[in-house]
């Protein structure tokens, strides 16, 4: 609309000064008599025909407000569109707003190695952070490669945090085809520091001459960078960098930490080059470096950065060139704008001999804390202790901070080949451990409960912080997305078809494992008075979210029969899967009923619900909360722990085992078939072939799911069924191996079978440490319970524990990694590496720490 048009429109409302006033109009307006009609006899004709005028006025008055309401509703619906429930936050106070997570606690965790997907990455716990990272040039198969992001295909012979306290110290070793890098991280907070304090990184470079070809040089090239996600400009100290003249590399300013400076110090003869970039993208910084190096090689035949910067650079990369061996210290000093900043003194305290002494002190404190908490010296040998330290160090060093929006599927399609429309969750932050820095460098809900079994024992405040962040991701229905793919760095690592999260699908509520453990610790007076107070405040605040989470499971995942549950999300139309996966269960391809239906009863979910109900009941009692109608957690726990009812629904006397129930046939296989496409050559595909009509029955696959009632300690210690479970566990023809318990019995028709042409067996045989830990926990429990099978439980426990520790330690020593799973034939590590999520539970196995699970 033009400007004159707007004026015309306004003139309809605003009267000009030349217009006659309202009184004049009224004077000139014809006078209409209310009794307009008269009969020829002079009598009046009533306008309302005996209708009550007050009644009509009341109706008019009411209609006016109805119209006003509708107009207002219409306007508001345009201004504030109603959000789908799946992306509407739970209307409850955020746990992370509690005072215990503010102030000193929040500042103490501000900086950290919170970019676990990188070989070395540092950031602050804020959405738009100043971030730092390390790259270097490695050699593989006779070619140069730029290392930056943790990738299995880089084939590093080992990397990972040998020691890390989760707060202000870490020690990591990386072996890359002859180059040995040691990176150490240290934080320092003094009176003169800006918010979050200062930090230092020491990088030591050595060479293994037996693996290094000197044709590729006699030194190493490192690239250390700073990038500002907020777009703030970074300034290079000068064009010609010379650390022997001045240690200052760069400077800048931010609202959170004030002015800052980056310094580099070394006693070795190092050459420095730099390049500055302006970019809004931070997930592909290595591409910028590679392009700059390639340009310099073409122009000058030299492998060095351009010593130039884009205008308003928000990324600075510094190339550090040195002959083997060399060491360099890099320091970020915050708050340099303060009057008493003492920059030079602080730089000196975080470099050279002062840094060496502080690192040595932190390492000793780490070793002492490990022994104080886990008492490993009395339980295992020195080699196992060393591996145990690496396990907890890698788990804590893998804690990350992420910010972004999850993508939530709008449709219920389960076919990954079809396009899925999605909406975005609200912008959210997540502070969490990750299962694997190379393969799964992001938050996974069911993994996190297992992570916290270790972390809460190490640092209860970090653990509550992580759990709180997860619970704050809950939507109005009580649902939490099971996989957190937040930010462009995370999105760049995940295939598009797996990004959208389905709000109908759950994930095992394993956070209740850690919470149950913590509550037991409260009952046993394992915490200081301050810790007890903070845990209680946390539980008080978290209760409404835990309750919503429980109710979501109890309503959306419930089955047709009382006290039955089933995992939603299985594909009942697939023609390519041998057995439709239950990704929401966490056990992926573990065999369920051959034909998914609403008649299913999943044994593992029933046991998870017992754990959740029991934990909620414990929290209620701890906080002196009254039981409310429809939310009697004690009753639910009693119902789900009813052994006779469990047996009626899930026990098969012929097998002596517990099973799922559903629409099932064993007559299913994958067959190659020619697919009709209308083309000359019909492609062959491996498709599902069913040769028998399924019936409702127990699903006869002995494996981890069968042992969930045993893990949950539901079976009475004097029951003959307990003896049957011990026999299943110790049977070499079923689950027992010299390296741990198989995920699926050898007698199963699905044992080690591929699920599709491209999906090898995952939970159909290999050994998983999280489930073995839970089974060990139950064995330990029954070995302490008086009963006829106590001695048998103890013997199996002792041997299984020894097998697990020995195999994990042996693999770590031979390969340099913790693994996602272990082969059931030879015990060799398989799957993702390093996998320092729940495989780190080996520390609790060594310490014989099992809690109440």
Rounded to whole angstroms, the Cα distance separating 181 from 171 reads: 11
| DSSP calls for 612-623 | HHHHHHHHHHHT
Q: Which residue has the tokens 């080059």?
A: 273
Give pLDDT, residue 628.
84
Give pLDDT, residue 419.
61
Residues marked as catalytic: 588, 820
| DSSP calls for 520-536 | HHHHTT-S-HHHHHHHH
Give pLDDT, residue 187.
98
Cα 675 to Cα 90, 94, 159, 577, 689: the distances in Å are 48, 53, 46, 16, 14
Cis omega (within 30 of 0) on the bond before 451?
no
Give pLDDT, residue 806.
98
Greatest extent of the chain over all pairs of C-alpha atoms, in Å: 129
322's torsion region: left (phi>0), alpha (psi -120 to 50) or beta? Answer: beta
| DSSP calls for 319-381 | EEEEESSEEEEEEEEE-TTSTT--HHHHHHHTSHHHHHHHHHHHHHHHHHHHHHHH-GGGTS-
Rounded to whole angstroms, the Cα distance separating 827 from 811 reads: 8
Give pLDDT, residue 27.
38
Rounded to whole angstroms, the Cα distance separating 746 from 741 reads: 11
Residues of the chain with pLDDT under 50: 1-51, 413-417
Tally of residues, the chain: 853
| pTM score | 0.89
The counts of H helices and E strands in the chain are: 21, 32
pLDDT single digits (tens) 94-148: 999 999 999 999 999 999 999 999 999 999 999 999 999 999 999 998 899 999 9
pLDDT single digits (tens) 232-257: 999 998 877 888 888 999 999 999 99
Determine how β-strand 271-277 pairs with β-strand 308-309: parallel
Give pLDDT, residue 53.
60
Rounded to whole angstroms, the Cα distance separating 228 from 262 reads: 13
């Amino acid at each position: 609309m033009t400007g004159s048009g707007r004026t015309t429109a306004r003139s309809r409302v605003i009267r000009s000064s030349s217009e006659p006033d309202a009184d004049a109009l009224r004077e000139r307006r014809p006078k209409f008599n209310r009794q307009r009609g008269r009969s020829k006899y002079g009598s009046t004709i009533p306008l309302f025909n005996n209708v009550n005028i007050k009644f009509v006025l009341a109706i008019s008055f009411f209609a006016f407000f109805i119209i006003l309401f509708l107009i207002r509703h219409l306007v508001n619906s345009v201004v504030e569109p109603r959000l789908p429930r799946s992306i509407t936050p739970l209307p409850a106070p955020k746990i992370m707003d509690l005072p215990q997570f503010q102030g000193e606690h929040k500042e103490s965790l501000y900086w950290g190695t919170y970019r676990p997907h990188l070989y070395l990455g540092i950031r602050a716990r804020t959405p738009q952070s100043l971030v730092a990272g390390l790259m270097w040039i490695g050699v593989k198969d006779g070619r140069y490669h730029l290392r930056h992001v943790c990738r299995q295909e880089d084939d590093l012979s080992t990397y990972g945090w040998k020691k890390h306290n989760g707060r202000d110290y870490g020690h990591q070793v990386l072996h890359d085809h002859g180059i040995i890098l040691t990176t150490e991280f240290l934080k320092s907070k003094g009176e003169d520091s800006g918010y979050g304090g200062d930090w230092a990184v020491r990088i030591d470079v050595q060479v293994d001459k037996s693996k290094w070809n000197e044709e590729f040089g006699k030194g190493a090239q490192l690239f250390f960078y700073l990038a500002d996600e907020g777009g703030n400009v970074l300034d290079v100290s000068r064009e010609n960098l010379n650390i022997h003249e001045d240690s200052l590399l760069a400077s800048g300013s931010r609202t959170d930490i004030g002015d800052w400076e980056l310094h580099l110090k070394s006693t070795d003869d190092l050459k420095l080059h730099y390049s500055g970039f302006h970019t809004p993208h931070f997930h592909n910084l290595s591409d910028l470096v590679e392009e700059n190096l390639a340009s310099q090689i073409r122009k000058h035949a030299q492998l060095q950065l351009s010593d130039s910067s884009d205008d308003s650079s928000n990324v600075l990369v510094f190339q550090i060139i040195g002959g083997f061996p060399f060491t360099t210290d890099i320091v970020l000093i915050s708050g340099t704008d303060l009057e008493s900043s003492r920059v030079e003194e602080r730089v000196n305290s975080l470099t050279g001999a002062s840094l060496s002494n502080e690192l040595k002190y932190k390492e000793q404190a780490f070793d002492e804390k490990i022994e104080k908490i886990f008492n490993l010296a009395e339980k295992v040998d020195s080699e196992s202790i060393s591996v145990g330290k690496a396990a907890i160090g890698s788990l804590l060093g893998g804690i990350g901070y992420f910010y972004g929006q999850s993508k939530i599927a709008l449709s219920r399609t389960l076919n990954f080949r079809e396009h899925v429309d999605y909406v975005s969750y609200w912008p959210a932050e997540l502070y969490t451990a990750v299962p694997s820095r190379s393969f799964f460098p992001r938050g996974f809900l069911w993994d996190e409960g297992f992570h916290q079994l270790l972390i809460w024992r190490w640092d209860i405040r970090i653990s509550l912080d992580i759990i709180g962040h997860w619970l704050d991701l809950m939507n109005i229905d009580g649902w939490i997305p099971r996989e957190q793919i937040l930010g462009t760095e995370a999105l760049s690592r995940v295939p598009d078809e797996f990004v959208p999260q389905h709000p109908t699908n759950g994930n095992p509520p394993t956070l209740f494992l850690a919470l149950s453990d913590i509550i037991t610790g409260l009952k046993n007076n394992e915490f200081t008075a301050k810790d007890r107070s903070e845990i209680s405040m946390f539980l008080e605040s978290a209760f409404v979210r835990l309750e919503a989470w429980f109710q979501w499971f109890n309503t959306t995942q419930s089955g047709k029969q009382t006290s039955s549950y089933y995992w939603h999300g299985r594909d009942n139309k697939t023609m390519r899967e041998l057995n439709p996966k239950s990704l929401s269960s966490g056990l992926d391809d573990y065999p369920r009923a051959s034909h998914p239906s609403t008649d299913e009863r999943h044994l593992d979910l029933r046991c998870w619900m017992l754990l959740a109900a029991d934990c909620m009941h414990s929290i209620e009692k701890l906080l002196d909360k009254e039981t409310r109608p429809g939310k009697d957690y004690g009753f639910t726990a009693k119902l789900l722990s009813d052994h006779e009812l469990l047996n009626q629904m899930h026990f098969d006397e012929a097998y002596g085992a517990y099973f799922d129930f559903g629409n099932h046939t064993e007559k299913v296989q994958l067959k190659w078939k020619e697919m009709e496409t209308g083309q000359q050559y019909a492609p062959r595909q491996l498709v599902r072939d069913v040769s028998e009509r399924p019936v409702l029955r127990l699903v006869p696959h002995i494996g981890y799911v069968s042992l969930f009632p045993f893990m949950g300690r539901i079976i009475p210690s004097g029951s003959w069924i307990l003896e049957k479970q011990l026999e299943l566990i110790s049977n070499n023809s079923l689950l027992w191996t010299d390296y741990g318990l198989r995920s699926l019995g050898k007698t199963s028709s699905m044992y080690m079978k591929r699920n599709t042409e491209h999906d090898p067996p995952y939970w159909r045989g290999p050994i998983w440490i999280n489930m073995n830990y839970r089974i060990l926990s139950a064995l330990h429990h029954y070995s302490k319970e008086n009963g006829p099978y106590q001695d048998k439980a103890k013997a199996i426990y002792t041997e299984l524990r020894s097998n697990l520790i020995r195999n994990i330690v042996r693999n770590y020593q031979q390969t340099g990694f913790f693994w996602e799973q272990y082969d059931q034939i030879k015990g060799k590590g398989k799957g993702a590496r390093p996998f320092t999520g729940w495989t780190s539970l080996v520390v609790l196995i060594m310490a014989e720490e099992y809690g109440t699970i």
